[in-house]
Structure formats: C-alpha cells, structure tokens
Structure 1
Amino acid sequence: MLLEVRNIEKSFEKGVPVVKGVSFSVHENEIFALLGPSGCGKTTTLRMISGFERLDRGEVKLDGITLSSENTQVAPQKRGIGFVFQDYALFPHMSALDNVAFGLTDLPKFKRRVFAEEVLCRTGMGDYKDRNPAELSGGQQQRVALARAIAPEPKLVLLDEPFSNLDAMLRDTTRKEVRSILKRAGMSAILVTHDQEEALSFADRIAVMNDGKIEQIGTPEEVYYKPKTKFVAQFLGRTNLFEADVENSDMIDTKLGSLRLNCRANGPVVCSIRPEHLTIEKPNGAAEGCSKGVIVGREFKGHDITYYVECSGERYIVHTDNRILFEPDDEVVVKPLEPAVVLD
C-alpha cells in the first residue's frame, strides 16, 4: 500500500468538523479520485495529505512512514508529494523550463535544466520550453504544472480540480493526456473533483464524499451501477428511486409494475434503477402487470434520447438509443432491463 489515510478529522471555526473520520488507501500506480459537491471536505482532505493543513485527529502514512498525526507534521516539501493546483500556480516571470527546474533542488544546478527539459518533452511541452505562462493556453499551462509536479519524481501526485478552468473540449483532451502521462510514469495520484464524468473516466477507484464523510469507495463501475446510498445514486448521474415494503423477497411492487431487486430484502427499502436500465414500448403486446404511462418530455441527444414518463402521478427518466422513437403525449409502457439496486 502506498498511501494510508486513517480516520482523519479537521475542524475550523467553532469546532465544527469539515472532515469526519475519513479513511482510504491508494495503491502503487493507482489514480484515486475524491468526488463530491462543493463544501464536502474533499479539498481539505487533500491539503491534510499534502501537509498544507494540520489534521486534528487520525494519521496519514506514505510508504509506511507517518507524515501526519496528532503529534507529527512533516513539512510539505519533505513529503515526496507533488501538487497540481487548480490555478496551476506557475511563476509568471519564468519560462516553462525554469518553472519545472525550480523544484529540482536535489540535483546539481547544471543538471536541473537538462532534466527539466526531458520532463517537459514527456508531457508534450518540449517545444514551448522558452515561453512564459502568459504565452501558453490553459491546457499547455496545465501540462507545465504537471511537469513541475512530477519532475522531482514524487511517490504521489495530488490534483486539486486541475481541469475546472478549461473549456469542455480542452478539458476532455487534457484529462486524457494527463492520465496517460501519469500511467506512463508509473505514478500514483489523487484527483479532487466535483465533476462526476471526470472522476468516472479518469480514476481507477473513486471515493464519493458527502458532508465530510466518505459514503462509498469502489471502481467507477461499482459506484455507478451499485450505489450503496441514496446520495451516491443521485450524485453519480440521474436515477429513479422507489420506496416500498418488502417481505423477504427479491421483487418490489411499484407504480411501474413489479421490479426485480439485486438482492433479497425484508422490510422498508429504497432502491435505485438507472434510466438506461429502463426502456419503453407501445402498450399493445406489453407484459401483464405493467402500468401504462404518458411521455411528458423528450430530449434528443443524437446518440441517445432521454424520455420523461409520467405513470400514476410519478415521473420517471428513461434513456434509450436513438432508434426508439416516441413523441410527447404518446402512451407507453416502461420496462426494466436490469434489477433495481437496494440502497442502505
């Protein structure tokens, strides 16, 4: 295990905790994401790992060495951790090359610029080494900031909302490039983001945070398809929620009809089913027990279509491919393609 974070807590004003007993680990050559809404404590968690904030309780270990605890606080520059800030924090009066060379204090002066140029080339910025930050695009500045972070060959790189200042197309391209650079370098990283798509596409594992706590940790597929809580289900994209009483069964009765559950349950349950795990069809020929609904909204997106279906006073979301064509006010039946997931 490369990084171990154990039960860390942090309070600011009036002793109200903003991070509450957070624990997770990061493996070698793993990209880990802390995902959650603004104010959930994810950036504070990152700053405690980096050493920019002291923790109140808990422990942070890197490669078995304690970096932070109630009695220990290793200085940020001595942790072997690289940090890429949201605003990149490049020195505006220095060239890209000098920005990268600045942190290579462990190398002799005559070697710093040579090694810095090698790292810039690895990030695709070798041809821009003599330009100042003001002469670079946002994506180019991002890669220089990453080059500066990985040049000292840290054991871990921390990325604090690093793509949020880029436009949508550049954000997607830069995200792919940065992931590729980190994987080729064999480095572990922690990404902090509030963007669900970013976390799902960038990270190997995701920790979903809410109100200072981690609600679920897993691969992108696990947290998306098998959410454990109502918050995770709703934050990781759109979903349909159902509540009902179940008597030791793997079926639930809903206004759409009977839905299969992903496990047996007993008592009051809340379950979730993603819109793409539902489909719609014409009422004639539909299976018995299915309730009729009416399409009250439609969003054509090219590769797929989102339908809003009202059934017995409730509204449901259905994603279909672009070959399933209906119009508003059409009468339809909603059918499940996958079991609903029981939430904690």
Structure 2
Amino acid sequence: MEKPLLHIQGLTKSFDQSGPVVNQVGFDVGKNEIFALLGPSGCGKTTTLRLIAGFEHCEAGEVYIEDELVESPQVSLNPQKREIGFVFQDYALFPHMTALENVAFSLREVDRKKRPVLAEEVLCRTGMEKYKHRMPDELSGGQQQRVALARAIAPKPRLVLMDEPFSGLDAMLRDSTRKEVRAILKKSGMSAILVTHDQEEALSFADRIAVMNNGQIEQIGTPEEVYYHPKTQFVAQFLGRTNLFRAHADGTDNVETRLGPVKINREAEGLILCSIRPEHLTLERCKPNGKETGIITGREFRGHDITYHVLFKGDKYIVHTDNRLLFDVDEHVIVKPLEPAVVLNQKA
C-alpha cells in the first residue's frame, strides 16, 4: 500500500480550561487526494488545519508530511519549512500588488528574474493570464480566489490547505469556481485539504470526507459512504435530511417498525436507532379509509423533485420523489422504503 502524503495521529489542542477544541484527531491524506474536513462552526476543523500548517502548536499527537515529523509537543517545524500552500477564507491578496506580483511573491526561493515567468505559467493554469496586470480590487470574487490558489500552488508545495475558500462567493459562482479549482488541483497532481461547513461543497469537491463534531472525527469515508452509510446520528443528520426511527431487532437484517417490515443494512439485536434518507422512501396512493395510511401535511416543489412531509401513525417523515409523483396536501398515502435503513452506532 502506498504511503500517505500526510499522516496525523492523536492530534490535540486546547486554548483554555474548557477542554480540547481538537481531541485525538487522526487521519491520512494520500498523494493527489482532495480531502475535506466537514463540520459545524466551532467543531475544531480550522484549528486542525492551522496545526497542520504550523500556525498553532499541539499539546499531543503528531503530524507527518512524507514521513517527516513536522508537528508534535516536542517538534514544531517553521510553517515556511513545511512546504505547504494555504488559501485563506478572505484570500489575503496584497492589495497593492497585481495578480502577477501576488503570485510571484510566493516564489521567494526562486531567482528574482525567473519569478514573473513562473508566476505567469501558474496564472495560465488557473485561467487568469488575461488578468495578470489587474489589482485585487479589479477582480471578481471568483477571480481573486483563483489568484489566491495560483499563489498557493506556485512554489509546488507538498500539500495545499484551504480554509472555507468558497464561502464569500454567491451560489452560482461558488459552484463553478469549485469545479474549476478541483480540476486545477487534479491536473497539477496536488493533494489538498478543504475545511468547510457546507455539506454539498464537501460531497461534490472531495475524494474523501472526515466529518467532525466537538473536536473529534465521527466518520471518514468517500462522499457516497458517509452520505449513504452514516455511522452516527450526527453524521446522518449533518449530511442532509434524514428520517430517524427506533426499532427492536432480533438478530436478523429485518425489523418491524411503524412503517411495517423494514430491511436494515446489517444484522442487529435489541433496541436500535436507524436512519433512512428521504429519497429512499416512496409514496403510494390508498383509500381514505384504508389501514396503515399516512397523511401529507406539507409539499415542497423543487422543479426536478418534490419533498413531501408525511404524518404516519404519529411520526413525521420526509419523502423525496421525482416530479412526476404528484400528491396533494391532506391526501392519504402509504409510505414504503426503497432501500435498507442504516443502523447507527449509539453512544454508551
């Protein structure tokens, strides 16, 4: 198995007596991999990034880059010597420098005469060569973002760190810029870590995701794994809408629920907590006096799909259907699962 580019184990950091903001965090990032730290504000993801960069010093744990120990309680390599590119949330471009000069500034290890040529090459890769003589205030948010990325990757760092780099862009520009930045990183063969609180951003941008909560990582996996197979209630609820329900399992992969018999993704026993995504449920029509029926209490038309809110035997469910499955509010329906429910780990 190929050694990871970045290896982190037991990383811990506190700022006061209220407890660690990063608590025993560990993960690997492979070569040419885009990795996302996803979680709510205050969960410790930006502090983790700053520990990797060397802007903060850890109390416990270790950070290795290409087998080189760069951070531990005893060792803290200078940020400039870690060969890491950092894209800040506000881009942090020098306002008195052109796009070209901003990128050239990061090439301090290169002969002064060669810096403009190399900087222009990197701006070409990011599609910004036409704007090389513009000042930051003459660039749009997306253009500033690409200049900031060019500045980060110009010195050919071992790793690129990005702290909420798309949060200042409007929705349409954010989506297009994300795609462009991902393509640039992949084409350059660079590894990167993205910090974000935006679930859609992490799912669409990263090769793998670590979901953080209260300073700890609750799950690591591909976007498909963490979305379709969450391990905890927090992961299930943070990565989009879900339906949670409890059931008694008898050691098989089938349980009886208020919806009727439901298949689960693994054998379980005892009282369990399950999650099923709204798109893994469907609705069927039934007679108003039919048994085992629910009633539609809300309807959200979204163009390509429709979200229904259903009250079924006292429980509320969310169901996503395609736009051809039409029901009205107050209509009686049957709720049926299309996929197995996921059994969640429960804390003791």
TM-score for both structures, normalised by structure 2? 0.96
- Is 2:155 aligned against 1:152? yes
In the superposition, relative to structure 1, how do residues 307 and 323 fare at CA in structure 2: closer, same or farther (>3 Å)?
same
Query: Can you list the C-alpha shifts for 1:48-86, whole angstroms capped at 9, x where unaligned?
Result: 000000011000000000000110000111101000000
**1:280 aligned residue (283, 286, 305):** 283
Q: Helix, strand or coil: the match of 1:217?
A: strand
Which digits, 9 at most, give the CA deviation of each residue in 1:295-320, with x for residues without a partner? Answer: 00000000000000001111100000
How does 1:1-344 map onto structure 2 within 5 Å? Answer: 1-14=4-17, 16-283=19-286, 291-344=292-345
Provide the rounded CA distance (Å) in 2 between the counterparts of 1:118 and 1:283.
65
* Secondary structure of residue in 2 paired with 1:332: strand
CA offsets per residue over residues 255-298 of structure 1, 9 Å max, x none?
A: 221211111110110010000000001125xxx9x821000000
The residue type equivalent to 1:48 in the other structure is L
- Structure 1: distance between partners of 2:270 and 2:258: 18
2:306 & 2:18 partners in 1: Cα distance?
48
Q: What stretches of structure 1 move > 6 A for 4+ residues in a row?
A: none
Unaligned runs of 5+ in 2: none
The alpha carbon displacement at 1:171 in A equals 0.2
- Separation in structure 2 between the aligned mates of residue 334 and residue 69 of structure 1, nearest angstrom: 53
Q: Write the letter of the residue equivalent to 2:207.
A: D
Q: How far apart in 2 are the matches of 1:254 and 1:332?
A: 17
Which amino acid is the alignment partner of residue 335 of structure 2?
V
Tell me, in whole angstroms, the C-alpha distance in 2 between the residues paired with 1:248 and 1:94.
66
What percent identity do the matched residue pairs reach?
A: 68
Q: d(CA) in 2 for partners of 1:183 and 1:291? A: 51
Which AA in structure 2 matches 1:33? A
Q: How far off its partner does 1:15 sit?
A: 5.4
Unaligned runs of 5+ in 1: none
Q: Provide closer, same or farther for how the CA distance between residues 323 and 130 of structure 1 changes in structure 2, counting only shifts above 3 A.
A: same
Q: SS at 1:17's partner residue? A: coil
Instruction: Give TM-score, length-normalised by structure 1.
Output: 0.98
Equivalences, count: 340
Give SS of 2:334's match.
strand
| Structure 1 Cα separation of the partners of residues 116 and 245 of structure 2 | 60
Farther off after superposition, 248-257 or 233-242: 248-257
Q: Per the alignment, do residues 336 and 11 of structure 1 end up closer, same or farther by CA in structure 2, a change over 3 Å counting?
A: same
Task: Specify the code of the residue in structure 2 equivalent to 1:335.
Answer: K
Deviations 1:231-257 (A, max 9, x none): 000000000011122121212222221
Rounded to whole Å, the distance in 1 between the matches of 2:213 and 2:162 is 19
Mapped to 1, the partners of 2:256 and 2:168 lie a distance apart of: 46
Q: Render the CA deviation track for 1:97-122: whole Å, top value 9, x for unaligned.
A: 00000010111100001100110011
The alignment's C-alpha RMSD in Å is 1.0
